[in-house]
Amino acid sequence: MDLGISGQTALVLGGTQGLGLACARSLAEAGVKLLVNGRSAAAWEAARGSLPGATFMQGDLAKPEDRLRIIDSAQSLGPVSILVTNAGGPPTGEFLDFDDAAWQQALNANMLAPLALMRAVLPGMCERGWGRIVNITSSSVKAPIPSLHLSSGARAGLTGVVAGVAREVAGRGVTINNLLPGAFATDRLLHAFAPRAAKAGVSVEEMTRQRSAAIPAGRFGDAAEFGATCAFLCSAQAGYITGQNVLIDGGAYPGVF
Ligand SMILES: NC(=O)c1ccc[n+]([C@@H]2O[C@H](COP(=O)([O-])OP(=O)(O)OC[C@H]3O[C@@H](n4cnc5c(N)ncnc54)[C@H](OP(=O)(O)O)[C@@H]3O)[C@@H](O)[C@H]2O)c1
C-alpha cells in the first residue's frame, strides 16, 4: 500500500531502539526522509544500517536545552511534516518510593518533552496545511499498571492535552494521535523482567512465558507491527483519524472502550 508520504520529513524522537526504531523503519520504507534522535551514539551506530540516509540528532529529551538544539537542527534542514515523540519510560516502583524530584523527572521526559516538540512543529504544519503527530505512550493510560505510577501520571497529562489540541488543529490538515503499546518484546521490556522475576522467585524465561500466556494473542507484540501502525497513522489515508488513543496490546485490555 502506498502511504502517500514519500518525500515528507519525519523527526522520530527516541528512535534508535525498540518501538521508536520500528516506527522510523516503517516510515523509511514509505519513502520518508528521517531525522532520528536518541542519547547514545552507540545505539545509533547499531541502528543506522537499517535507516539509510537518516540523520542522527543526538540529545536527551529530558533536558530543555537539548530539546531546543534538536528542534533548531531539525528545522534548519527543512520543514518537519511528521513528528513521532518517544523516550524511555520512567522507573517502576511503589507510589511511596517517589518524591517530587522523581515526579518532575517523569513529567519532564514523558509529558513536557513531547509537548515542547509539538509546540515547535505545529505552527509550520498548520501553515502548510498538512502534518502528522504520533506520541508513543502506554497501555497504562487505559488501565493503570501496578508499579508504573510515574508513567501513568505523566502520560495521562499528555493524553489530556492532546485530546484538546488535536481538535484545535484538525481543520488545518494536521492530525495528532497517541499509540499505546501493550507488551512488546523490546530490550526494555525484557530487561524490566529480570528484577521482577527475581522478586517472584522464578526465572526470566518462566516470567516471560507466564506474561505471554496472559495475553489473549498468546505472545508479545513484534515491534515491526507497532512501526507499521505508526506509519499508517502518518499516512495520507489516515487524514480523518485524529485525537485517538490507539491501543496495540494483543487484546490484553478487556474493556469495551
Ligand atoms: N516495550 C513495551 O512493551 C512498552 C510497553 C508500554 C509502554 N512502553 C513505552 O514505550 C516507549 C518505548 O519503549 P521501548 O520498549 O521501545 O524502549 P527502548 O527499547 O528502551 O527504546 C527507547 C528509545 O528511546 C531513546 N531514549 C530513551 N530516553 C531518551 C531520552 N531521554 N532522550 C532521547 N532519547 C531517549 C533510547 O535511546 P537512548 O537510550 O540511546 O537515548 C531508545 O532509542 C517507552 O516510553 C516505554 O515506557 C513500552
Task: Judge whether 96 lies within some domain.
Answer: yes
Residue 205 to residues 210, 214, 250: CA-CA distances in angstroms? 9, 14, 20
pLDDT single digits (tens) 61-93: 999 999 999 999 999 999 999 999 999 999 989
Question: Ligand 1 within 6 A of 225 CB?
Answer: no
CA-CA-CA-CA torsion sign (114, 115, 116, 117)? positive
Residue ID of nearest Cα to ligand 1 atom 22: 88
Residue 228 has pLDDT above 90, yes or no: yes
Q: Tell me, yes or no, whether 108 and 161 share the same domain.
A: yes
pLDDT single digits (tens) 2-50: 999 999 999 999 999 999 999 999 999 999 999 999 999 999 999 999 9
Q: Tell me, yes or no, whether 49 and 172 share the same domain.
A: yes
Question: Ligand 1 within 6 A of 136 CB?
Answer: yes
Q: Tell me, yes or no, whether 144 and 90 share the same domain.
A: yes
Joined grid coordinates for residue 176:
495528532
**CA 7 to centroid of ligand 1, rounded, Å:** 26
Task: Judge whether 254 lies within some domain.
Answer: no
Task: Judge whether 39 lies within some domain.
Answer: yes
Q: Does the global pTM surpass 0.85?
A: yes
Question: Could you report how far apart the first and last alpha carbons of the chain are, in Å?
Answer: 29
Q: Tell me, yes or no, whether 60 and 148 share the same domain.
A: yes
Q: Tell me, yes or no, whether 132 and 195 share the same domain.
A: no
CB atoms closer than 10 angstroms to residue 209: 12
Q: Tell me, yes or no, whether 101 and 121 share the same domain.
A: yes
Q: Tell me, yes or no, whether 178 and 66 share the same domain.
A: yes
Question: Ligand 1 within 6 A of 233 CB?
Answer: no
Atom of ligand 1 nearest to the CA of 17: 43
How far apart, in whole angstroms, are the C-alpha atoms of residue 255 and residue 257? 6
**CA 178 to centroid of ligand 1, rounded, Å:** 15
**CA 38 to centroid of ligand 1, rounded, Å:** 9
Joined grid coordinates for residue 174:
494536521
List the CATH number of the domain containing 62: 3.40.50.720
Q: Tell me, yes or no, whether 34 and 126 share the same domain.
A: yes
How far apart, in whole angstroms, are the C-alpha atoms of residue 202 and residue 206? 6
Residue ID of nearest Cα to ligand 1 atom 41: 39
Parent domain of 103: 9-182+222-247
Q: Tell me, yes or no, whether 25 and 124 share the same domain.
A: yes
Strand order in the sheet with 9-12: 55-58, 33-38, 9-12, 82-85, 131-136, 174-181, 245-248
Biggest distance spanned by C-alpha atoms of the chain? 57
